C-alpha cells in the first residue's frame, strides 16, 4: 500500500508539530489532537508504563470520563483482551484483526466495558525507543463510526517510531530537570559515579559536568577555555566509553533511564 503526496505532507506536518512540543505532559494531549484529523476517532487514551514492571500509569484521556478510566484501572485492565493479545508489539493492532466480533461479543471485557461505554472499534499502538516500551496510544470509535481502515494502520505504523524518539527525549529532559532541581551534591554524585564507572579522564569529567547542567558545546568551550574541536573530541571519547551515540542517550544513561 502506497501513500500519495498529500498524505506524506500531512504526516510530515504532523511530525513537525509534534517535534516542537517541549513538555512531556503537553505531548500526550497534543499528539492525540494532531492524530484526530488524520485518523478520526471518538475517544482516545495516551498512557505510559512503569519502567520496571510495565504497570500502567494514569493516562491522558480524550472524551473518556474519569469514572470509566477508574473502572478500567480497578478491574477491566486485567481482562483486556486487546492488551493481552497485542502487548508490546512493533505494529499497530486493530480489535477486528485480533478476533471477529462474533467472538468479541462472548468476551466479558467487550460486553461489560467496551459496549457499555459506547466503545466498539479499537486501534492500539505501543510506542518504543529502540526495544524499550515507553507508552501506548489507544484510539476508539463508536459502532456507527466504522472500523479503522488499513491505511490508518499504516499511518500509525509510520508515525510510531518518530513519536518514540521524541517522547524518549522529553522523558530524558524531564528526568534531567528533576536531577538538576536537587542539591548540587546530587549532581556531583552522578558525575563521580559515572567517572568511576566509565573511567572518564578528569577533562572528560569537566566536560560531562557542564553537559549534564545543560550547557551547549559552544558554552562548554567558552567555560573551559578550549576549542570547539577539543570539546567534540572529548564528547566523542565520552560517547565511546559510555556506549551511547548522542547527548540524549548520554544524559539518559547518566540519570539511569538507559541501561
Q: Which residues of the chain have pLDDT under 70?
A: 51-56, 177, 179-186, 256-259
Alpha carbon of 98 to those of 121, 158, 204, 208: distances in Å?
11, 21, 52, 48
CB of 151 closer than 8 Å to CB of 1:
yes
What kind of fold does domain 5-177 have according to CATH? Beta-Lactamase (3.30.450)
CATH architecture of 182-254: Orthogonal Bundle (1.10)
pLDDT in tens, 52-101: 666 667 788 999 999 999 999 899 988 998 888 888 888 999 999 999 99
Predicted confidence at residue 99, as pLDDT, reads 94
The residue extents of the domains of the chain are 5-177, 182-254
Predicted confidence at residue 33, as pLDDT, reads 93
Give burial (CB, 10 Å; 0-12/13-18/19+) of 100: exposed
C-alpha cell at 208: 560531562
Predicted confidence at residue 50, as pLDDT, reads 77
57 φ, ψ (degrees, to nearest 5): -105, 165
Say how far apart CA 101 and CA 95 lie, in whole Å. 9
Amino acid at each position: 500500500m502506497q501513500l500519495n503526496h498529500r498524505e506524506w505532507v500531512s504526516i510530515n506536518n504532523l511530525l513537525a508539530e509534534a517535534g516542537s512540543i517541549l513538555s512531556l505532559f503537553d505531548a500526550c494531549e497534543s499528539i492525540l489532537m494532531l492524530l484526530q484529523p488524520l485518523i478520526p476517532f471518538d475517544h482516545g487514551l495516551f498512557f505510559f508504563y512503569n519502567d520496571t514492571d510495565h504497570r500502567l500509569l494514569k493516562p491522558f484521556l480524550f472524551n473518556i470520563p474519569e469514572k470509566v478510566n477508574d473502572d478500567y484501572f480497578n478491574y477491566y485492565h486485567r481482562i483486556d483482551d486487546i492488551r493481552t493479545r497485542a502487548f508490546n508489539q512493533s505494529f499497530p493492532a486493530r480489535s477486528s484483526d485480533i478476533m471477529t466480533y462474533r467472538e468479541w461479543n462472548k468476551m466479558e471485557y467487550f460486553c461489560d466495558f467496551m459496549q457499555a461505554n459506547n466503545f466498539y472499534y479499537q486501534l492500539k499502538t505501543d510506542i518504543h525507543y529502540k526495544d524499550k516500551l515507553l507508552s501506548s496510544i489507544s484510539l476508539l470509535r463508536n459502532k456507527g463510526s466504522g472500523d479503522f481502515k488499513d491505511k490508518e494502520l499504516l499511518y500509525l505504523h509510520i508515525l510510531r517510531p518518530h513519536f518514540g524518539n521524541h517522547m524518549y527525549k522529553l522523558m530524558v529532559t524531564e528526568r534531567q530537570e528533576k536531577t538538576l532541581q536537587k542539591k548540587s551534591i546530587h549532581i556531583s554524585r552522578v558525575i563521580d559515579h559515572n567517572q568511576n564507572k566509565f573511567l572518564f579522564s578528569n577533562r572528560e569529567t569537566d566536560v560531562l559536568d557542564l553537559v549534564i547542567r545543560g550547557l551547549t558545546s559552544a558554552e562548554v568551550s567558552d567555560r573551559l577555555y578550549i576549542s570547539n574541536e577539543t570539546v567534540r573530541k572529548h564528547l566523542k571519547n565520552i560517547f565511546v566509553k559510555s556506549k551511547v551515540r548522542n547527548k540524549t542517550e548520554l544524559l539518559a544513561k547518566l540519570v539511569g533511564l538507559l541501561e
